[in-house]
Amino acid sequence: MNLDGKSFDSSAAKGTELLAQLPRGSVKDVVALRVNGELVDISHTLDSQDDVALVRIDTPDGLDILRHSCAHVLAQAVVRLFPGAHYAIGPTTQDGFFYDFALPDDRRFEVSDLSEIEAEMRRIVAEDQPFVRSELGIDEAEQLFQAQPFKREILSGIREIDASQPVSIYRNSESFVDLCRGPHVPSTRYLKSFRLRRVSGAYWRGDEGRPQLQRIYGFAFATAKDTDAYLSFLEESEKRDHRRIGQEMDWFHFPSEIGPGLAVFHPKGAYIRYRMEEFSRARHLDAGYELAWTPHLAKSTLYETSGHLEWYSDGMYPPMELDEGDLYYPKPMNCPGHILVYSAQPRSYRDLPLRLFEFGTVYRYERSGTLHGLLRVRGLTQDDSHIFCTPDQLEDELSRLLKFVIDMLRAFGLEDFDAELSTRPEKSVGDDAEWDFATNAARSALDASDIEYSVAEGEGAFYAPKIDIHLTDAIGRRWQLSTLQIDLQEPQRFGLEFQDSTNQKLRPYMIHRALFGSVERFFAILTEHYAGALPGWLLREQIRVLPVAQEAEEWANIVAKRCQDSNLRVSVGAAGEPLGGRIRKAKMDKLPYVLVVGSSDVAAGTVGVNRRGAAKEERDIQLDAFIAEACLTLAEPVLEVRR
């Protein structure tokens, strides 16, 4: 037997017997085994030829098993406290777990129920109940779960696939049993550090036409220290929630009169959008992109040709019937319109690469349960680019794109990036040689860049490989930002061609690229990354001048005029209310600079400077020196681009 990569002489028939032969201190945190590459319970029966690895509780596999076991204990606690409860599914999440329930008599969980359920879970943990696996035939399993309709539906699906295969169940008491593949921790005592977090609604199997269940979320870690750190992380995340900051800063809101997932931007927020978009548009023009604009509606025939009605109809808004029977759809993507721009005239190799760019608003019918502030909306504006190039140009265009994308994101103060190359999935379309060519071009472009990247084997789109750029933000959260998606299908579906130097008709390659992803989502990510204190060059108001009293108002207006003459955006807060309150208000607005001027500043030509984030005001700063500083710190970033 091989144990953790080393030969081990053992006659153990079960994993528990194997662990008993090892020093006790070395196995106290082992919760499962990986046998011949498969995760199994410690009680798993072993063979002398097996390759065995120990799975410890603080490893990714160990934490996933721990969280899965917590989900079972959650279900057991709910069934104890709410007789007649139906339990559906309870998978793990990135940091924890959830379980879906339907309570009798349409009873709803209250927030106050969570503490009672959590207390019951701790009683179950203290009972040190073992997780015991067994296998049953389908008929026996259906009989066992006769009072649990969601489990019976799962079993019915298994029966349709193969009724002869046994199913596995887990008991961790005589009164509770769950349908599960496992593995689990050896007993409930291993579940030492968990919390229940919140309750939400969830449709059975994500289908709005199915019963609405109640989902209880929790999180779990190997140690109390890790749990405390996660609680601090959650607290910081809530402080940075862009939905709360957006309301406090008067940037945007979601009016019920318009509908869910559709944001209205107020003047301050709309100005930030304007600055983002104008900066991006100018940099694209500098980099050799051509502007395009496409309508918000299109006939169904366009989306039949593109394949969106075949592959993406569930995410599209319903059509409108116009023009004596023609169906018009709000556009879900900008790419079909850009393809029409390409195909509007014959193209030569001399025209390529053709880089089209548009801030195009699209509409996607996201399910209400998936909407989340600006991060997931139904109306979104993409900074969308589509690049048409010859095969020989593909690798160079991808290299250019990677540099352009990263440089643009760095202009917004973002720095911690990595990339992911997603390769051909099992279910895909297209020629093997084209897939290999496109994948190798993407890999070579990444190799030539200064970005660390990983390969997600089989995670590409069904029609081509892609590169995703990820950002790690100020508190360690990882966001997917830009996507570079090679497309081998749309040029073929639309019959795109270009004439090469020998007058042959060839098909161009196409690259989809959204740099921000969407303006709305990027706005939200920036807000949370900076906790609302956005880079000053984006803001409508960069400086607020506060006169201490009325006699200093004339100097305050002179200060503001001098700042405006240097293209700084400034306002004056009149001396009517107490100074301390006006300073606090300006700081709550997260302005880069708050200038306080009094009677002593008038003759000296000075200002008192409150810099955003600084603990104290700096007095007696010469106005010219301040303006020179502000012009540097508030300047729009300079970006060198390659045409």
Burial 453-471 (b: 16+ CB within 10 A, else e): beeeeeebbebbbbbbbbb
Whether pLDDT at 206 is above 90: no
Segment 454-492, tens digit of pLDDT: 999 999 888 899 999 999 999 999 999 999 999 989 999
Structure confidence by residue, pLDDT tens digits, 576-600: 889 999 999 999 999 999 999 999 9
Percent of the chain with pLDDT over 90: 84
Are 382 and 403 in contact by the 8 Å Cβ rule? The answer is no
Query: With respect to CATH, is domain 2-56 assigned 3.10.20.30?
Result: yes
Locate 134 and state its tokens.
């067994």
Confidence label for 574 from pLDDT (cuts 50, 70 and 90):
confident
Q: How far is residue 592's CA from residue 574's CA, in Å, rounded to a whole number? A: 19
pLDDT, the chain, mean? 94
Model confidence pLDDT, tens digit, residues 18-28:
898 888 888 89
User: Does the annotation place 512 within a ligand binding site?
Assistant: yes
Contacts (Cβ under 8 Å, ≥6 apart) of 433: none
What is the amino acid identity at position 390? T
**Could you tell me the CA-to-CA distances from 276 to 2, 67, 279, 381, 520 in Å, in that order?**
57, 41, 5, 12, 11
Name 571's bridge partners: 544
State mean pLDDT over 325-345.
Answer: 96
Average confidence (pLDDT) over 345-356: 97
* 296 in a known ligand binding site: no
- Determine which one of 148, 382, 489, 542 is catalytic: 382
pLDDT of amino acid 437 = 94
Distance CA 556, CA 595 (A): 9
- C-alpha span between 333 and 562 (Å, rounded): 46
Residues in a beta bridge with 379: 363
Active site (annotated) includes residue 512 = yes
Structure tokens at 551: 């006699």
How far apart, in Å, are the Cα atoms of 607 and each of 86, 277, 625? 68, 34, 10
pLDDT 10s digits, 106-129: 899 998 999 999 999 999 999 999
pTM of the entire predicted model: 0.88
Residue 30 in tokens: 């082992």
Q: What is the pLDDT of residue 2?
A: 83
Domain ranges of the chain: 2-56, 61-232, 252-296+331-529, 541-633
Q: Name the CATH superfamily housing domain 61-232.
A: Threonyl-trna Synthetase; Chain A, domain 2 (3.30.980.10)
> Letter for the amino acid at 489?
Q
Residue 417, pLDDT above cutoff 70: yes
Tokens of 640: 């060198």
* Domain at 541-633: CATH code: 3.40.50.800
Asked if pLDDT for residue 643 goes beyond 90, the answer is no
Check if 386 is active-site: yes
On whether 266 is known to bind a ligand per the annotation, the reply is no
For residue 569, pLDDT beyond 80: yes
Question: What gap in Å lies between CA 526 and CA 535, rounded to an integer?
Answer: 9
Architecture field, domain 252-296+331-529? 2-Layer Sandwich (3.30)
Query: Using 50, 70 and 90 to split pLDDT, how confident is the model at 320?
Result: very high
What would the pLDDT profile of 606-619 be if each residue is shown by its tens digit?
A: 999 999 999 899 99
**Of the residues 466, 521, 529, 544, which is catalytic?**
466
pLDDT for 294 beyond 80: yes
φ, ψ for residue 340 (rounded to 5)? -65, -35
Average pLDDT over residues 40-69: 94
Q: What is the DSSP code (8-state) at residue 460?
A: S
Tell me what the mean pLDDT of segment 513-530 comes to: 96
Determine the pLDDT at residue 349. Answer: 96
- In a 3-state reduction of DSSP, which class is residue 568? coil
Q: Is 178 a catalytic residue?
A: no
Starting at the edge strand that comes first in sequence, how are the strands of the sheet with 2-3 ordered?
Answer: 6-7, 2-3, 51-56, 30-35, 38-40
- pLDDT at residue 9 tops 80: no
The Cα angle at residue 533 between residues 531 and 536, in degrees rounded to 5: 155
Closest CA to 87 of 179, 208, 194: 179
- Confidence check: pLDDT of 420 > 90: yes
Q: What is the mean pLDDT of residues 324-330?
A: 93
- Strand, helix or coil for residue 294: coil
Question: How many H-runs (helices) and E-runs (strands) does the chain carry?
Answer: 20, 32
Q: What is the pLDDT of residue 75?
A: 97
Q: What is the DSSP string of 498-560?
A: EE-TTS-EEPPEEEEEESSS-HHHHHHHHHHHTTT---GGG-S--EEEEESSGGGHHHHHHHH
Residue 382: active-site member: yes
| Active-site residue flag, 384 | yes
Q: Phi, psi (5° rounding) for residue 242?
A: -65, -25
What distance in Å separates the CA atoms of residue 483 and residue 464, rounded to the nearest whole number? 13
Catalytic choice (364, 403, 424, 443): 364
Specify the length of the chain in residues.
643
* Mean pLDDT within 229-238: 94
